[in-house]
Amino acid sequence: MSLPLRIFGAALLLTLAGCGEAVPAGPSLVMQDPWVKTADSGMSAAYGTLVNTTGKEVVVVSATSSASPAMELHETTIVDGKMAMKPKEGGFAIPAHGRHEFEPGGDHLMLMDVKTPVRPGDQVTFTLTLKDGGTVRFTALGKDFAGGNESYQPGRG
């Protein structure tokens, strides 16, 4: 048997020997249609739909962004008859093969201190940290959005 054929055979055996090991099939979460509200500074928010591609619940516990050094996971609730945003205690749990919507007036990823202006068409990177220590990265498109004239200033609803 020639030397190249022996090397190929040895490589094939090593490859087959490793087939019993678990290999990740891909990310556990996929962010669909992500976008972030434009802002020069101050606060903003990111939206989209998180899709759980696994057969088990996945919990998002924090987020970071290239545009803001500080971020919070936010939910919108009704307090004393008024809409209010607040940090989501314990994070967002996305059920097995389920989805979770982040949308204006609802749950969102809050950029607390925009340091890099977000302009229409900008690509802003985000990293979600999961309860199990894993991370999921995605890029969101900067979009102008007036919405319902939400106020992202603390204490102003």
CATH of the domain at 133: 2.60.40.1890
pLDDT of residue 19 exceeding 50 = no
Higher pLDDT, 135 or 24: 135
In a domain, 74, yes or no: yes
pLDDT per residue over 61-115, tens digit each? Answer: 999 999 998 999 999 888 888 888 899 999 999 999 999 999 999 999 999 999 9
Q: Which has the closest alpha carbon to 140: 58, 39, 61?
A: 39
Q: For the chain, how many structural domains are there in total?
A: 1
Task: Pull the structure tokens for residue 112.
Answer: 């607390």
pLDDT of residue 16 exceeding 80 = no
Is the pTM of the predicted complex or chain greater than 0.85? no
- Domain range for 53 is 25-143
In a domain, 2, yes or no: no
In a domain, 115, yes or no: yes
In a domain, 14, yes or no: no
Please state, in angstroms and as integers, the Cα–Cα distance from residue 49 to each residue in 46, 76, 92, 152, following that order. 10, 16, 12, 21
In a domain, 16, yes or no: no
In a domain, 11, yes or no: no
